[in-house]
Amino acid sequence: MTSDTSTDALAETARRAIACLDLTSLNDGDDDAAIETLCRRAVTPAGPVAAVCVWPRFVPLCRDRLEGSGVTVCTVVNFPHGRDNVEQVRDEILPAIADGADEIDVVLPYTALLTGRVAEARAVLDMARLMTGEATLKVILETGRLLTPSAIREAAALAVDAGADFLKTSTGKVAISATLEAAHVLLDVAAAAGRPVGVKVAGGVRTTEQAAAYLRLADAINGRAEPSNFRFGASGLLDALLATLDGRPATVSAGY
């Protein structure tokens, strides 16, 4: 794959990436005002983002503010540590779905998986799939903790077998978040799933050039990346994408 950094190519990347963006705010200090700002930002001059991703308590607010916008509402459970408590996952998902969440991002119990407790990790995913119902289920693998391609592949295959609709790289809360290498493994597993499975790249994608590299990779492995099969999970990326479209220099965010 060759890189095309021309102005027109970067503008096309920015438009595509905005459509595939899960605009995210998962900060400890988030409040209603911060989430209202997030919702306003989600409908951009270049079109709406794919989703907003927020703490469960903000799902009703997002549903209200984004009604009719085309932006879906995503929330996280078992986040960010990926504990292996099945009942906790159930008790987090049920109210989120009742409040109108369209998408659930659940953290795989990666520590359980790494220590050989595969059945315990799988039980959490099975519960998440059952409780999520018709909503979209994204499984966060925390690839920065799994580290090796073989461990990442094992986790991705487990998630697909449990019914995941998307494989997500990271929580954005550990030292190593998304990498092209990890994304390649997830895209390979998704391509071999025998049913539609998307990939969400989260954490550390902050520039239009970085987004372009992931889009090229996704296009090459799974066909053209679009919101139904590919997402970026990010907070600061949107500013960079809009700057690209406006022909302005981008300030790189230190955020998610």
* Residues with a known catalytic role: 105, 168, 200
For 155, 203, 254, the CA distances from 206, given in Å and listed in that order, are 26, 8, 8
Q: How far apart are CA 204 and CA 254, in angstroms?
A: 8
Of 17, 14, 13, 10, the closest CA to residue 233 belongs to 17
10 Å CB burial of residue 150 (0-12, 13-18, 19+) is: exposed
Q: Check: CB of residue 41 under 8 Å from CB of residue 24.
A: no
Beta strands in the chain (DSSP E): 21-25, 43-44, 47-48, 51-54, 72-77, 103-107, 136-140, 166-168, 198-202, 230-234
Enter the tokens of residue 166: 């998307």
Q: How far apart are CA 157 and CA 102, in angstroms?
A: 24
Q: How far apart are CA 256 and CA 240, in angstroms?
A: 13
